[in-house]
Structure 1
C-alpha cells in the first residue's frame, strides 16, 4: 500500500468531500488511510466512477461513504480503491 504521509503521520493537505446527494448510500471499510491527502485521493478516485453521486471519507474511522444513483458496484469500487493504494475490506452498512 502507498502512503502520502511523513513517517510521523503528518500531511499538509486538507480533506475534500463531495456534497451529499440522494440515492443508494453504502458505507465501506477501507484500510491504509492516514491523512487528509488519503481522503482527497479517495474522494477524487471514487467520485470519478460512473454512477457515484457523492463520497465522504472518514480517515479516523477507516470508512468511505458512497452514494450512487443505483446499486453500487462493489467490485468496481474495490478495484478503484486498490489502484489508488488502499484496500476496501468490506461493507459496513
Structure 2
C-alpha cells in the first residue's frame, strides 16, 4: 500500500537521508522516496501509519499527516 507522509522540519539533503534511512529500516517497507521540495515521503509499505510516524519523529521531524 502506497502512503504519503507529510513531514515538517526537513531543511536539507541530510534531513532527507535521515528520514529515508529511518523508513527503509522498518520491516514491511519496500519503497521510500523522500522529497525536500514537497516536504513529504512516499512509502510503499504494509507497516502501520503509527509505526511510520514514530520512525520519522524519532529522527526529530514532525509528521503532520498521512494520506
TM-score using structure 1 length = 0.68
Alignment equivalent of 2:48, drawn from 59, 73, 76? 73
RMSD over aligned CA atoms reads 1.0
Which of the two has greater strand per residue?
2
TM-score using structure 2 length = 0.92
Give the aligned length.
Answer: 67
Give the Å deviation of 1:37.
0.5
Q: Distance in 1 between matches of 2:10 and 2:31?
A: 19
Runs of 4+ in 1 over 2 A off after TM superposition: none
Larger Rg: 1
Relative contact order, higher structure (CA 8 A, sep 6+): 2
2:9 paired residue number: 32
2:35 paired residue number: 58
* Structure 1 gap segments, 5+ residues each: 1-23
